[in-house]
């Protein structure tokens, strides 16, 4: 093969697939048609291609049996609902602008609703906190009220027993120690009076 | 029913139309994926994945492109992802093919079993890119412009891969026959 022949073979190799697909311009197709008649090396290029591709095509390809194929298709169809398909179609159609407008409106509405819910939830949160604090406050009040009620109870009992002095002391003196001392003192005074009246 | 009509029905969610549409490509697609999956199990997994992606994505399919080109683009991506995930080597299980009977080639000559093995081995030693181009051409029956789109490579590069693939396979076959 001389230099020119080598050159033309290389060029043909670059275009041979387009020539076989008949996707070259008409002039170029005719050019190679003519060259192929003259040049055996070019024919050889085509023969080599045909030999390999025909040999490969001659191999029996593995086949997927129909039963297996059908079960795979069934599984595939189940994987997508018609609903998804319709939604996608909305965006393909010409009216997509209308749908987009509607969608934008819907989104705005949704955002408004969510904001409202969030704000409301926040308010509730504060209210709940206040309630908790109030309940603690109420507990404290209840204790002090309980104490006061107890005091009143004791005083009522004293009044019932006509022990006015004790009642008086009890009313003005909260200190138990002082109260007891005063009580003991009054008893000693009573004993003294009794002793003075007693004649040996 | 025409392919276009089937596609429109598929877009409307018609599962039976999808079945008929894919029936036309069943064997081509399975044969293509087999070269990557090497056995029935892996190939079926890839085939199922391809079906799901086609069914889910059919509403996005643009009628201006050839359906087979779109289909093989999906299959190609599924195969590449699958191989990466499973760490499969791009080789063909010859034993499984050995058991298959041979059939007529275009020249009405029978290819002997040994020749089948040689061709499979020859395809197996191609570089990854050469193999992809070769398999897409043989199984998908796609034009090189379509293959260039699928593989995301310039047309000249794709043509060059194909030329190298043919030369390598041819050479491999010659060497084997000379050795005998």
The first and second tokens of residue A90, run together, are 């909305």
Q: Report the distance separating Cα B77 and Cα B150, nearest Å.
A: 9
Which DSSP symbol is given to B104?
Answer: B
Average pLDDT along chain B: 81
Residue ranges of chain A with pLDDT lower than 70? 1, 80-99, 121-142, 162-175, 199-200
Please give the model's pTM, rounded to 2 decimal places. Answer: 0.58
- Residue written as tokens 């890119």? B129
* Best residue in B15, B131, B136, B166 for a mutation probing chain A (most A CBs within 10 Å): B166
Query: What does each C-alpha distance from A73 to A99, B16, B50, B54, B77 come to in angstroms?
Result: 32, 9, 11, 11, 20
Residue A127 phi/psi, 5-degree rounding, is -60, -45
Q: What is the pLDDT of residue B162?
A: 93
ipTM of the complex: 0.75
Q: Report the distance separating Cα B150 and Cα B140, nearest Å.
A: 11
The answer for B 26-85 residues in CB contact with A (under 8 A) is 26-27, 30-31, 34, 40, 43-44, 47-48, 51-52, 55-56, 59-60
List, for residues A2-20, the tens digit of each pLDDT value: 777 788 988 998 899 999 9
Total residue count of chain A as it appears in this document: 200
Task: Spell out the domains of chain B, with CATH numbers in brackets.
Answer: 1-89 (1.10.1740.10), 93-180 (1.10.10.10)
If you average pLDDT over residues B21-35, what whole number do you get? 90
Residues of A at the B interface (Cβ-Cβ below 8 Å)? 13-14, 16-18, 21, 23, 48-49, 51-64, 68-70, 72-73, 75-77, 79-80, 82, 84-86, 88-89, 92
């Amino acid at each position: 093969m001389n230099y020119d022949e080598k050159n033309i073979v290389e060029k043909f190799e670059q275009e041979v697939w387009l020539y076989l697909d008949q996707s070259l311009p008409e002039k170029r197709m005719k050019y190679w048609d003519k060259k192929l008649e003259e040049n055996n090396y070019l024919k050889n290029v085509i023969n080599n291609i045909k030999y390999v591709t025909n040999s490969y095509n001659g191999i029996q390809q593995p086949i997927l049996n129909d039963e297996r194929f059908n079960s795979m298709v069934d599984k595939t169809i189940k994987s997508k609902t018609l609903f998804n398909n319709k939604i996608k179609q909305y965006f393909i159609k010409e009216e997509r602008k209308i749908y987009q407008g509607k969608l934008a409106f819907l989104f705005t509405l949704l955002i408004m609703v969510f904001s409202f819910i969030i704000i409301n939830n926040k308010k509730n949160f504060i209210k709940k906190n206040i309630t908790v604090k109030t309940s603690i406050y109420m507990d404290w009040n209840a204790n002090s009220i309980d104490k006061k009620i107890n005091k009143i109870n004791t005083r009522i009992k004293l009044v019932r027993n006509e022990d006015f002095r004790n009642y008086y002391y009890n009313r003005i003196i909260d200190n138990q120690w002082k109260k007891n001392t005063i009580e003991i003192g009054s008893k000693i005074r009573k004993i003294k009076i009794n002793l003075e009246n007693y004649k040996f | 029913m025409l392919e276009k009509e089937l596609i429109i029905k598929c877009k409307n969610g018609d599962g039976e139309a999808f079945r008929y549409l894919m029936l036309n490509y069943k064997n081509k697609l399975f044969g293509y994926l087999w070269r990557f999956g090497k056995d029935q199990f892996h190939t079926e997994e890839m085939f199922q994945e391809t079906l799901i992606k086609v069914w889910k994505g059919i509403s996005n399919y643009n009628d201006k492109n050839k359906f087979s080109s779109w289909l093989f683009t999906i299959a190609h991506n599924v195969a590449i992802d699958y191989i990466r995930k499973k760490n499969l080597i791009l080789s063909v299980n010859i034993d499984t093919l050995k058991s298959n009977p041979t059939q007529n080639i275009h020249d009405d000559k029978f290819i002997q079993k040994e020749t089948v093995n040689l061709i499979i081995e020859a395809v197996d030693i191609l570089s990854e890119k050469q193999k992809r181009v070769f398999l897409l051409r043989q199984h998908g029956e796609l034009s090189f412009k379509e293959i260039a789109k699928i593989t995301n490579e310039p047309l000249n590069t794709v043509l060059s891969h194909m030329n190298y693939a043919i030369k390598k396979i041819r050479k491999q076959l010659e060497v084997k026959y000379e050795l005998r």
